Each structure stands twice: as structure tokens, then as C-alpha cells.
Amino acid sequence: MTVAREVLRLDTPAGGRFAVLTRRSGRACGALLYVAPFAEEMNKSRRMAALAARRFAAEGWVVLQVDHFGCGDSDGEFGDASWQHWLDDLSFAWHWLAERSGRPPCLWSLRAGALLAADWLIATGKHLPWLIWQPVVTGKQYLTQFLRLAAAGQMLDEQDARGVLTRLRAELAAGRAVEVAGYRLSPELCAGLEAASLRLAPGSSGPLAVLEVVAAAGAGLSPAIARLQQAWRNDRVAVDSAVVAGSPFWMTQEIETVPALIERSVRMLERFGA
């Protein structure tokens, strides 16, 4: 069957959103909404996400990828974006895809996209199948790491780097935007990111599929994800997990892909399809 890729503009109440819908001809087995990672990680992973979307579509999935407010070719400036903007975009995209596909879409997230997806699921009370790639577990730690890029770019020693981090947090606390690694971050966006964590709403049952990329074959899940998985299973959540060897494509200098991650995902998605 032929796989088609359709470039769209979704007209949300807050402006246009660039989107790509990938699907094959014939009957679909399900719908999948991609929740992209944060800032430069989104750009680094575009090739990988596009390859995965095409592969998933070949298996019968209707896949929607959307650039949120201020990202990519969507309306708005990144520096004006808030966490709520992105939650609203996720809601609009999910309902649009549900109407187009005739079924409740599953979620597929990468890196900090898992934090946004988790917040959205809790806010909406939805319990959906969810494919989770290389998740960020805590927004507070992730934001701190991102803010440290400002010091890393200046080649500062440890003491001066701590000073830069303190100054940036003071600016945000005072309600002022900060500039880090070429991105202007609003206090509202940082507050939402910092408060987010990879958690499930009470009563969630899954299924969840968590995949991590490791440097060498034979490694296991990261300790944080292993602990989360055990906690979820204790709460009777159906969760499957796997690791694949490959490069961290979301952060490599050159654009890279991990075909094994896509193929393992295809097998895990079989549990989600109708």
C-alpha cells in the first residue's frame, strides 16, 4: 500500500500550526499523535520522527505531527510560548485527529514531550495507550540542565557557572524572559516545564510502551525509568519496556537515526492497534 505524507495548517484559536499527517491507503489500525521534544532536541530529531511516522503509517497507523506555538513553521515566537499554549495545542491536535481518523488517538512522545503528554493526560482525565521514547522524568532537573547551557557556552569554571544559573533563575522569578542557547524562554514556559513530571493520573491502566536508547547492547533501563516502571506495575498499569543500542539522535552534532528503535516500536505498537 502507498504511504502518503500531507502537509497541513491547523487553524487553532491561537493561530496556525504546521502539521504533517502520514497515512497509508486502505484501512487504518489506529491513530497516533506525536508529542515533540523541547527546543533544539526537536530539530535534531525531526529526521528520526519523520522516518518513524512513515514506518508506523506503513503498518496502518494514521500519524499526526504538529509544531506547537512558536516552534518550527507554526505561528508565534518561541519566546512568547507558555506551557499552557502547548497543552492547548495538544488538545486541539488530539481532537482534530480523533475526528479525522474516527477513533481516539494514542500518544507517542520523545524526551520532554513525555512531560507535556503526562500533564495533558492528567488535565483531561484521558487514559490512552502511550509510546514513550527516551522520556525525561522530571522537568525541574531538565530545566536546570538546559539553563546550564548558558554557562557552558561561555566556558566558565564551576563557581562562575553556578553564578550564571542563579542569575537566570532570579530573572525568571522576577517575571523576565531569559536567553539560553539561542532560545528565549518565558517565565510561564519555564514554570510549567519545571513543575512537570512523568506521572500518571489515578486509575490509569495503560498500555504503556517505554523505549530507551543506550550506547551499547546489553545495557538495561536507566535507574529512574526502572523505578517508574516498577511503581506503575505495582499500580496495575500495563507497561512494557525495551532498550536498543544506538546514538542519542536528539542531541548528536550530526543528524543521526536509530532504525532499531523504530522497528522495536512497531512491534510494541501492535498491542495498541484495533
- Tens digits of per-residue pLDDT, 81-112? 999 999 999 999 999 999 999 999 999 999 99
Q: At what angle do helices 83-101 and 113-124 cross, to 10 degrees?
A: 70
Q: pLDDT digits over 221-254, tens only?
A: 999 999 999 999 999 999 999 999 999 999 999 9
Cα separation, 73 vs 66, in Å, equals 10
In this structure, whether the domain defined by 3-137+205-269 belongs to CATH 3.40.50.1820 is answered with: yes
Helix (H) or strand (E) holding 94: helix 83-101
At residue 13, the pLDDT reads 94
Alpha-carbon Rg for the chain in angstroms: 18
Strand partners, 108: 34, 131
Helix axis angle, 187-195 to 139-152, nearest 10°: 130
Question: How high is the pLDDT of residue 119?
Answer: 98
Residue tagged 491547523 (cell numbers) = 10
Q: Is the pLDDT of residue 200 over 80?
A: yes
Q: Are 115 and 53 in contact (CB under 8 A)?
A: no
- This prediction's pTM: 0.95
Q: What is the mean pLDDT of the chain?
A: 94
Write out the E strands in 119-274: 130-133, 178-180, 183-185, 208-214, 239-245
Residue 151: which of 177, 136, 139, 169 has the closest Cα? 169
Residue 72: closest CA among 55, 94, 51, 89: 89
Strand partners, 4: 23
What's the confidence (pLDDT) of residue 154?
60
Q: How far, in Å, CA of 33 to CA of 63, rounded?
A: 6
Return the domain boundaries, the chain. Answer: 3-137+205-269, 139-195
Query: What is the C-alpha separation between 10 and 8, in angstroms, rounded?
Result: 6
**pLDDT at residue 218 is higher than 90:** no
pLDDT score for 93: 99
Q: Please state, for a pLDDT cut of 90, what percent of the chain lies above it.
A: 86
Residue 51 has phi, psi (to 5 degrees) of -65, -40
**pLDDT for the residue numbered 273:** 67
Closest-CA residue to 110 (of 191, 152, 183, 53): 53
Q: What is the pLDDT of residue 274?
A: 56
* Residue at 25: amino acid letter: S
E-assigned strand segments in 67-206? 106-110, 130-133, 178-180, 183-185
Instruction: Report the 10 Å Cβ neighbour count for 264.
Output: 16
Please give the pLDDT value at position 155: 53
**Mean pLDDT of the 18-22 span:** 98
Residue 79 reports pLDDT greater than 70: yes
At 217 the pLDDT is: 80
Q: What is the mean pLDDT of residues 113-125?
A: 97
| pLDDT tens per residue across span 125-164 | 999 999 999 999 999 999 999 999 887 656 555 666 678 8
Judged by DSSP in three states, 136 sits in coil
Structure confidence by residue, pLDDT tens digits, 21-48: 999 998 899 999 999 999 999 999 999 9
At 75, is the secondary structure helix, strand, or coil? coil
Residue 203 has pLDDT above 90, yes or no: no
